[in-house]
Structure 1
């Protein structure tokens, strides 16, 4: 029985999730300025609810980005700390892929264009298509101005990028979905496949995905 613990702080949302066999426990809260205060209590609460310690976890999963610069760093730093303390491997999952996986699970979407508002007149965007019950990236993730975004097919639009630029979904003939922010629960299926295939790393070699070098977190609400 594989036990995976996931956490994500890359956007305005803060979430954690625990997969124990076929059971998934989760915590989710939108709290733009409180990630550092919220995430570890979420983790402790999940482990307590499952009656487990960190040593019982097989791997730690984290939202690797794209997202706010500071949010991605917070999540990676906390995941690294937990991994070091328990000597566990780490699995990074795309925040865009997590939203696409949620759209597949909750809305049955087989094709998803996920976009996170990157501020500064841009969005982080990625196209995903279902294969074997998991959402797979089509092409590459990118950071683009809305007018440069294209879609390989009609599908479901998810993420804050479409809230910030509502004309984008209309232009691309996409149906609006209900998912707006990543949730760690939906990182778990993607991470489980990666872990089974040996696609994990140690805490020293974790790689964030920013997609651009500018410090975008300064533009998030409450973080000016």
Structure 2
């Protein structure tokens, strides 16, 4: 199974090539230059691997939540590549990719959603992958849902970086530690996508879509 995965959901731009369990990775702190950086990175990765796009088995992308523009870039590029090669596509939750990046048994993932809010989800690792304990939501950090007790949860993501003190206090009873500086990466997206594509769970490129969760990108004047 050969999969090309990409993520542009944050200020980082990352690519990963899954080659039957081995992974090649490239990443750069792109800021707002994902579009101009991504395709040259892709060409360099394919040249390094000696593969053509037609030799791949599918594509994966960070579907969200995250930057609205970034999610559209990743989805659009994957759709174009998949249309050109007639290959399946699969979108992977950026919050689940965060959990995969940490690799602890119980993970709370939170991304800074701006406007004082966070994108939040919680997962428990099983033999078959990640079990969703709290599905991805958008909320104020002070309104995060409580989770089952008796577990040592690890927090990660820019939401925990931005609201470290508040979230540490709210989860003080069952928060084991907070991993700072974590962000979604194409490497974890590839690892999560591989078993799904192997099971034939990929979709046609025209069906691929970002998962925004939020339906607006800024507060109105009377909401500030």
TM-score normalised to structure 1 length = 0.90
Matching residue within 125, 133, 139 for 1:138: 133
4+ residue runs over 3 A deviation = none
Does structure 2 retain, via aligned residues, the 8 Å contact 1:5–1:60?
yes
CA RMSD across the alignment: 1.4
Number of aligned residues:
211
SS in 1 for 2:64: coil
Structure 2 residue 113 is the aligned partner of structure 1 residue 129: no
Q: Which ranges of structure 1 fall in alignment gaps of 5 or more residues? A: 217-224
Partner of 1:156: 154
Question: Which residue of structure 2 aligns with residue 38 of structure 1?
Answer: 37
For each residue in 1:142-174, what CA deviation from the matched residue of structure 2 results, as whole angstroms up to 9, or x when unmatched? 000000113414411110001111121332132
- Report the CA distance between 1:59 and its aligned residue: 0.3
**Residue 87 to residue 28, structure 1, CA distance change in 2 (3 Å):** same
Q: Which runs of 5+ in 2 are unaligned?
A: 219-224
Distance 2:183 2:26 in 1: 13
Secondary structure, counterpart of 2:136 in structure 1: strand
TM-score, normalisation: structure 2: 0.90
1:184 alignment counterpart = 186
Alpha-carbon distance, 1:115 to partner: 0.3
* 1: CA distance, partners of 2:82 / 2:41: 16
Matches within 5 A, 1:60-71: 60-71=59-70
> Residue 5 of structure 1 corresponds to which residue in structure 2?
4
Work out which of the residue numbers 191, 212, 215 in structure 2 matches 1:213. Answer: 215
